[in-house]
Amino acid sequence: MSVRVADPSIELIARAAAECQDLATLGSIVRGCEACPELAISRTTVVVGDLPPTPQLLVVGEAPGANEDLAGRPFIGKGGQLLDELMSQAGLDRGRVAVLNVLKCRPPANRTPTTAEARRCSGWLDRQVELLDPPFVLTLGRTALTWALGAKVTLDAARGVEHNWRRRRLVVSYHPSAAIRFGPSGAPRKALEADLHFLAELLR
Ligand code: SF4
């Protein structure tokens, strides 16, 4: 018989996040978070996010990579550069886009976040979404999709349509790292391009 042990960090983070009345306060508290011991030891910085004042779109990815961990900013490596390029091609205004990750700390060797890590850090992310209040949200990759729509929904099933999500409009797509891995002619790159154009149409 297996016994499921509740993770008290999930509740503690959700409560601490709910008490934050603005993004700056939340950011300063997140920077001291050590709820995931392995990540807290190995990280260089806590990547709180790129948060312009009144974003029309929030992009949510998975976790910081090596470049992001060093610089303390999300999506600045190769994946971020590709995303910027494809957003520009689709006509999306990068200056009004907020960027966050499900995890604020880099997993060692860029491994996939564990379910426990994602559930803990989602408390911070959920409150950031409430405080930012963006009308549109774009999730990139499996981890962000699971955060938004749950683990049972597949990426291919959720793509290509607009979801009514927490009183916002949600579109899902592949992570730019998958687009890089499969190359410029691969299915993830084509899907990401198509989804960004779809999103740009919704925003017009
Ligand atoms: S990943 Fe999130 S929950 Fe885990 S230590 Fe970093 S900030 Fe805290």
Q: Which protein residue's CA is at the shortest distance from atom 2 of ligand 1?
A: 121
pLDDT of 175 > 60? The answer is yes
Q: Is 17 in the pocket of ligand 1 (CB under 6 A)?
A: no
Closest atom of ligand 1 to 123 CA is: 3
Write down the pLDDT at residue 1.
45
pLDDT of residue 10: 94
Distance CA(131)–CA(173), nearest Å, equals 24
**What predicted TM-score, i.e. pTM, was given to this entire model?**
0.95
Q: Which residues of 103-130 are buried (b: 16+ CB within 10 A; e: fewer)?
A: bbbbbeeeeebeeebbbbbbbbbbbbbe
Ligand 1 pocket, residue 47 CB under 6 Å: no
- Within a domain: 22: yes
Substitution site in 101, 104, 143 for ligand 1 pocket (most atoms within 8 Å of beta carbon)? 104
Residues 6+ apart with CB under 8 A from 159: 172, 173, 191, 195
Strand partners, 61: 101
197 located within any domain: yes
57: containing domain? 9-203
Q: What is the pLDDT of residues 1-38, one digit of tens each?
A: 444 557 889 999 999 999 999 999 999 999 999 999 99
Whether 2 maps to a domain, the answer reads no
Q: Rounded to the nearest whole angstrom, what is the distance from the C-alpha of residue 77 to the centroid of ligand 1?
A: 21
Q: What is the CATH number of the domain that holds 153?
A: 3.40.470.10
Residues 94-123: pLDDT tens digits?
A: 889 999 999 999 999 999 999 999 999 999
Q: With beta carbons less than 8 A apart as the criterion, state whether 146 and 113 touch.
A: no
Tell me how many domains the chain contains. Answer: 1
- Determine, yes or no, domain membership for 4: no
Average pLDDT, the chain: 95
